[in-house]
A and B are shown apart, each in its own frame.
Chain A
């Protein structure tokens, strides 16, 4: 039977695009109707529509699909394992004593916002390159300090992302593809370097982390020959109600549980070990950076696949939001202005106090957790508007702009469907749906720290530029 004759005999099931009255009339006749939430693709911009059309030409669409399939397979099949901790100078490619890595796309000292400047000057003091914050600022402006994005050194950094030579780093190895990703240690909450705070208490904590916490973790992991399978732990944490960006209580418990047997065997005093455990329990955020390194490790493995339209990086430096796309290899950034994060604030602060969106932590959403996995974290729905339904719809909406689901990391609430994986630039531009990012809010001024948390969207300009570049590059 021909397809047309099948239509005559099967029950009509309509997808309605545009005029809503047609849907209502179909419902009156008991037909099944799905009404699309349709908006003009590319916000109606003819240049973008032409680029979409070019990418959807049958001669290239197969290549793109194959490339995207490979990219998401690499994301999904990546097995990031925590294999150790060490100081940045010893492990991070390109790290030098006068290099400071920062979050987001490249930025000069002059253009950095308050929290990032606060973190940079704090790090300079911490490294002993300047005696105080004022002189640190002079040094930062002098050109003696090399600034470079974390992402361009196989690293990620939360919030300001400021990473200097003697800081201890997670070392996460991709057992499937061999690449390694790094990120520094959580300073816990909330008056901390990464949030732009830099007073004596902040520097002292960094010193303790360098001299006690870091070495204990390093030595502990030396005793663990197999490393810690982070993806397995991540999926457990998601089943326990973390989305692993703004909620890390389960993940932190799992991580410290895995580290403890080795920590207690290290050659440090009981008092020092007790300090470590107290530090870990002082904030749920301890494992936050760990998941970022996992995501970075998986996404780096998917970067640089010719013709792929999958996003491999979303990162913000507090001034600009930048993305990288698999099909455009290397460090080519597409940027737009950083946005204001909307959400509840700590007592005593108002929205006008907040600095703009900052940090590499959007790597979690790029992987499919964080805001993308909101449905699995009902405990923090007040961050995203209030109801569990809201949380679920955030996750289902992200399925509209992603390529597949990751069967290794699932969401019980959605019948164990995998997290939405592989943001496709084409789908973002076509639907106008922007990735949703859960994140923290730093005070806009240097020296203060975290003042809230909430959600934010990237600027669409970054995605539009990427689409145009992809359509020009397509082979």
Chain B
């Protein structure tokens, strides 16, 4: 073991920095022990105590920097001096920007950002109500993305929001557009004069992109969460949303999107429509036309129809619209290609309302329509992994998302199921949605493409035609490049449907018999 001493005369480094340097010097691999200190009496005493005192150190002055290195050899000591010198001269990277203020709680963030007006909360459902309550207490509007929140908590939160005159969108609300800013899962659409209150996320997305395609635009899209129109919650947010849009000068037409409400809630909603000074278009998937019309509302059975009614009420010139009518020759063509065993539709959806719409369209002509989201228990799939007759699956439903990301982000589960369905000789058509927009997968068609190509090839080899319908929900303003997505889909030999409504209708018409 060798001990070497270097005294740098008249070199001052403050004691705290020196301690830090010493610590670093002792971490140099070849260094057995290193001391970097000013030549003060106190330091000399320490050096003496650890047995490293030399005459050179003894004679160092208070203003001298003393470096002592103990290492295996003289050579290594020299190397160590070099490394220590590097430590002494090392300059900090000053290019780093000023530190951003970080907040850990909603309350402190509001304190630091008093202009904040909305909180998006997407944390585990067991913590979510607490955070939402904090946000409301701090006078923030809330979009609660989290699911697995109890209905009691939902009622409590919405009641609190109602008392405070705030929006409480959710729980389980994935879509909103506020002040032309898309929140969570929503599409980039034009600003306009149509306001939407939606209890179903993809249903609302579909209506916004159709309105956009018809040349219209959106003022606000208020999400309520899927349970808002239940008996228990009583439609608190939908009613508040209608009222706010009625009072909003920019909004000329209001569109409501939901599954049919519970009877008592439907009454309240219809009563409010009746009072409303602005036209209200109602798309309740599978809902009742008569009551809506009686209340003075504009009923729409399907999504494109809802968008069309809205833009017309908002002042669009009907003669100039491309309504994207169904391609009737294509229907004949596909029917001719399918053999008699190919009787069934299999709908594989990432969007719940898109699934619901296609299912309801099929139910108009078929009795044997099964799904994991069927309201009639008799037609609910016994085993969600096994299809039965006409089957429509919402992969965003709880059975598929336990511990997994939503299919709009992670398409893997749906791809596996697609491969399974494509092999079934009783399947005539597989219909799928591909959702673009904020929050969604960056290339949803591309993710499914290899499976489509392979399945089509396999079917060809067996001598059957496999009809695949793809619907791409999005606008040209979305970042995923909708043109590119459509082209990919067409290149695979699939059929492109121009809307959710048309996708459902085409699927049904391809396999319907005997008209």
Spot the interface stretch: B134-142, B313-321, B365-373, B428-436. Answer: B134-142
Q: Does B240 contact A (CB under 8 A)?
A: yes
Residue of A nearest to B166 (CB): A3
Q: Which of B427-450 contact A (CB under 8 A)?
A: 438-439
User: Do A389 and B96 have beta carbons less than 8 Å apart?
Assistant: yes
User: Do B104 and A348 have beta carbons less than 8 Å apart?
Assistant: no
Task: Check A34/B103 contact, CB under 8 A, given A5-B244, A7-B117.
Answer: yes
Q: Does A453 contact B (CB under 8 A)?
A: yes
- Note all chain A residues with C-beta closer than 8 A to B183: 14, 22, 26
Residue of B nearest to A397 (CB): B102
Q: Does B150 contact A (CB under 8 A)?
A: no
Q: Does B118 contact A (CB under 8 A)?
A: yes
**26 A-B pairs, CB-CB below 8 angstroms?**
A4-B141, A7-B178, A8-B179, A8-B248, A12-B179, A13-B113, A13-B117, A14-B183, A15-B119, A18-B145, A25-B439, A29-B181, A32-B113, A34-B116, A36-B104, A37-B103, A38-B105, A38-B131, A344-B16, A347-B19, A386-B20, A386-B92, A393-B102, A400-B103, A400-B104, A432-B104
In the complex, what distance in Å separates the CA atom of A8 from the CA atom of B124?
28
Q: Residues of A with Cβ closer than 8 Å to B?
A: 1-19, 21-22, 25-26, 28-29, 31-32, 34, 36-41, 44, 49, 52-53, 189-191, 246-247, 343-348, 350, 379-380, 382-383, 386-387, 389-390, 392-393, 396-397, 399-400, 427, 430-433, 452-453
User: Do A348 and B130 have beta carbons less than 8 Å apart?
Assistant: no
Q: Does B33 contact A (CB under 8 A)?
A: yes
In the complex, what distance in Å separates the CA atom of A41 from the CA atom of B134?
13
User: Do A21 and B130 have beta carbons less than 8 Å apart?
Assistant: no
Residue of B nearest to A46 (CB): B126
Q: Does B99 contact A (CB under 8 A)?
A: yes
Nearest-Cβ distance from residue B128 to partner chain A, whole angstroms: 8
- Note all chain A residues with C-beta closer than 8 A to B45: 191
Q: Does B42 contact A (CB under 8 A)?
A: yes
| Residue interface mask B84-120, A partner, CB < 8 A = 1 | 0000000010001011011111101110110111111
Number of A-B contacts defined by CB within 8 Å: 209
User: Do B439 and A430 have beta carbons less than 8 Å apart?
Assistant: no
In the complex, what distance in Å separates the CA atom of A189 from the CA atom of B123?
50
In the complex, what distance in Å separates the CA atom of A49 from the CA atom of B124?
14
User: Do A39 and B240 have beta carbons less than 8 Å apart?
Assistant: no
* Given contact pairs A5-B247, A17-B120, A25-B438, a sample of 14 additional A-B residue pairs in the complex whose CB atoms are under 8 Å apart: A3-B165, A8-B220, A14-B117, A14-B120, A15-B110, A15-B120, A17-B122, A19-B145, A28-B479, A189-B42, A190-B42, A343-B19, A347-B34, A433-B104
User: Do B117 and A37 have beta carbons less than 8 Å apart?
Assistant: no
Task: Check A36/B22 contact, CB under 8 A, given A7-B141, A25-B439.
Answer: no
Q: A interface, by DSSP: helix, strand, loop or mixed?
A: mixed
User: Do A8 and B108 have beta carbons less than 8 Å apart?
Assistant: no
Nearest-Cβ distance from residue A118 to partner chain B, whole angstroms: 16
In the complex, what distance in Å separates the CA atom of A5 from the CA atom of B167?
10
With most chain A CB atoms within 10 A of its CB, the pick from B101, B104, B248 is: B104
Task: Check A22/B103 contact, CB under 8 A, given A15-B140, A344-B16.
Answer: no
In the complex, what distance in Å separates the CA atom of A38 from the CA atom of B26?
37
Q: Which of B168-186 contact A (CB under 8 A)?
A: 178-184
- Note all chain B residues with C-beta closer than 8 A to A52: 130
In the complex, what distance in Å separates the CA atom of A108 from the CA atom of B219?
71
In the complex, what distance in Å separates the CA atom of A363 from the CA atom of B21?
29
With most chain B CB atoms within 10 A of its CB, the pick from A31, A44, A346, A396 is: A346
Nearest-Cβ distance from residue B113 to partner chain A, whole angstroms: 5
Residue of A nearest to B93 (CB): A387
In the complex, what distance in Å separates the CA atom of A344 from the CA atom of B14?
13
Q: 3 shortest A-B CB distances, which residue pairs? A: A344-B19, A347-B35, A18-B122
- Note all chain B residues with C-beta closer than 8 A to A383: 16, 20
Q: Does B50 contact A (CB under 8 A)?
A: yes
Contact for B182 among A13, A25, A49, CB less than 8 A: A25
Task: Check A347/B115 contact, CB under 8 A, given A7-B167, A22-B122, A29-B181.
Answer: no
- Note all chain A residues with C-beta closer than 8 A to B96: 387, 389
User: Do A4 and B165 have beta carbons less than 8 Å apart?
Assistant: yes
Nearest-Cβ distance from residue A292 to partner chain B, whole angstroms: 20
User: Do A38 and B50 have beta carbons less than 8 Å apart?
Assistant: no
User: Do B122 and A19 have beta carbons less than 8 Å apart?
Assistant: yes
Nearest-Cβ distance from residue B178 to partner chain A, whole angstroms: 6
In the complex, what distance in Å separates the CA atom of A1 from the CA atom of B117?
15
User: Do A2 and B244 have beta carbons less than 8 Å apart?
Assistant: yes
